[in-house]
Structure 1
Amino acid sequence: MFNFIWGGVFVAVNFALFVLNYRLFGRKGLYSWICFATVLANIQVVKTIEMFGIVMTLGNTIYTTIYMCTDLLNEKYGTKEARKAVWFGFFTLIASTVMMQLALVFTPQAEGGTAQEAMETIFGLMPRIAAGSLCAYFVSQLLDVQVFGYLKRRFPVRSQFWIRVNGSTLVSQMVDSLVFCTIAFAGEYSWDIWLQILLTTYALKFVISIAATPAMYLARSFSPKED
């Protein structure tokens, strides 16, 4: 119950900061959010928690806000801007991974160098995990932009925004989960365990994506001065 309560607070804070960021900084704020969210998501995913008997990783909430960014950009500024944001995030993810791997190469101070082990735990990702994360992000984000664009043409009415947001996110999140779990875990676990990881990961993303809809409507109502 403790994790459930704090999980609700955690989700609410993520969405509130996302909306505030757009309100204050507009389109540039969405670009900056994508860059830092891609990094934080891959740090938070290292920590696992248990909720209602299900083991899950952190990082899913802030990772969902990346889809919120591209969908909001697509809605208000067009597909080209949303696709550009995907490339921003992809470059940030690669650059941060490379830089932190180089940082781990340095020999720490013999006495008092206590940060090395902690940094290796967080940033010393296994090759398959890192490859899975990069591929899943790239494929699913570009797919999200395309699906949202299609739904925008198919359901163009302003009140149908929820269809565009949830439809594109739920499709792309499934692909994201499938690509990541296949690259990172296929062969490492038995089929039934692998399937359980895939389904629980997607189910959590599904719930968070639905919960994000009111925040998306609120963010869309703003007309930031920066724009």
Structure 2
Amino acid sequence: MKFKTLFFPALAMGAIVLLSNILVQFTINDWLTWGAFSYPVAYLVTDVCNRILGPSAARRIVLVGFVVGLASSTVLASLQITLASGSAFLVSQLLDVSVFNRLRQRSWWQAPFIGSCLASVIDTAIFFKIAFANSELNWLSLAAGDLSVKLIMAALLLPAYRAVIRKSGLLPAPKSA
């Protein structure tokens, strides 16, 4: 696959991961960080790449996000947060690619929605368990809030997914009445 084909998805993934690693440091309240709103867009990028370019390209985009995430986390966060973020990102994104690929023949919304939801559960569990192990912080409420927003975002991002796929020609336009 040509570098040019993967450049913009890789750039988008890197930017989303960097932004999310910054925003996760700022809490909105006792159960939510700003990163919960930006991070689900990474699943959108992965799912669009998977649908248009295939699972191999989607995995390459995930690796770009992983490298950017590790690099930015080492500058922005502690080693424990870096390990938590990198582990959660890699496992959950690769899970999303696999689930999406298994469901790709179903209705247009099932693969991205189910893949993103399952990956969000795994991402949240891995990140918060590693990031706040041996911490006095009540991380369960943060994890619950974070997961709730990720699941809502999975639904809210479906129209964007559909629009991009339709523009690519892989999803036909709705028939006029």
Residue of structure 2 equivalent to 1:205: 150
Higher alpha-carbon Rg: 1
Query: Post-superposition shift, 1:198?
Result: 2.2
Partner of 2:120: 173
| In structure 1, distance between residues paired with 2:5 and 2:98 | 22
Please provide the CA RMSD for this pair.
2.0
Q: Give 2:7's match in structure 1, choosing from 11, 20, 28.
A: 28
Instruction: Give the superposition deviation at 1:85.
Output: 0.4
Aligned to 2:79: 127
Distance between the aligned counterparts of 1:26 and 1:206, measured in 2? 29
Counterpart residue number, 2:65: 89
**Cα offset for 1:26?**
7.2
Select which of 55, 67, 88 maps to 2:43.
67
1:192-215 CA-to-partner distances (Å, cap 9, x unmatched) read x34323222111111111111111
d(CA) in 2 for partners of 1:75, 1:222: 12
1:46 and 2:22 aligned? no
Q: What count of residue pairs does the alignment treat as equivalent?
A: 166
* Kept in 1: contact 2:69–2:86 (CA 8 A): yes
Gaps of 5+ in 2: 170-177
Q: Quick one: distance in 2 between partners of 1:216 and 1:49? A: 27
Query: Which runs of structure 2 are paired with 1:181-220 in the superposition (5 Å)?
Result: 181-189=128-136, 193-220=138-165
SS, match of residue 108 in structure 2: helix
Displacement after TM superposition at 1:49 (Å)? 1.1
Question: Tell me, what secondary structure is at the counterpart of 1:180?
Answer: helix
Report the counterpart of residue 174 of structure 2 in structure 1: none
Report the secondary structure of 1:161's partner residue.
Answer: coil
Query: SS of the counterpart of 2:109?
Result: helix
Q: Note if contact 1:132-1:183 (Cα within 8 Å) is conserved in structure 2.
A: yes
In structure 1, give the amino acid aligned to 2:43: Y
Which stretch shows the higher mean deviation, 181-190 or 56-65? 181-190
Distance 1:188 1:93, change over 3 A: same
**Residue 109 of structure 1 corresponds to which residue in structure 2?**
none
Matched-pair contact (CA < 8 Å) for 1:186–1:194: no
Query: What is the Cα deviation at residue 30 of structure 1?
Result: 1.6
Letter in 2 for 1:37: I
Q: Which moved more, 1:171-180 or 1:54-63?
A: 54-63
| 8 A Cα contact 2:80 2:131, kept in partner | yes
Residue 96 of structure 2 corresponds to residue 151 of structure 1: no
**Distance of 2:96 and 2:34 partners within structure 1:** 22
Percent identity over paired residues: 28
Q: TM-score, normalised by structure 1?
A: 0.68
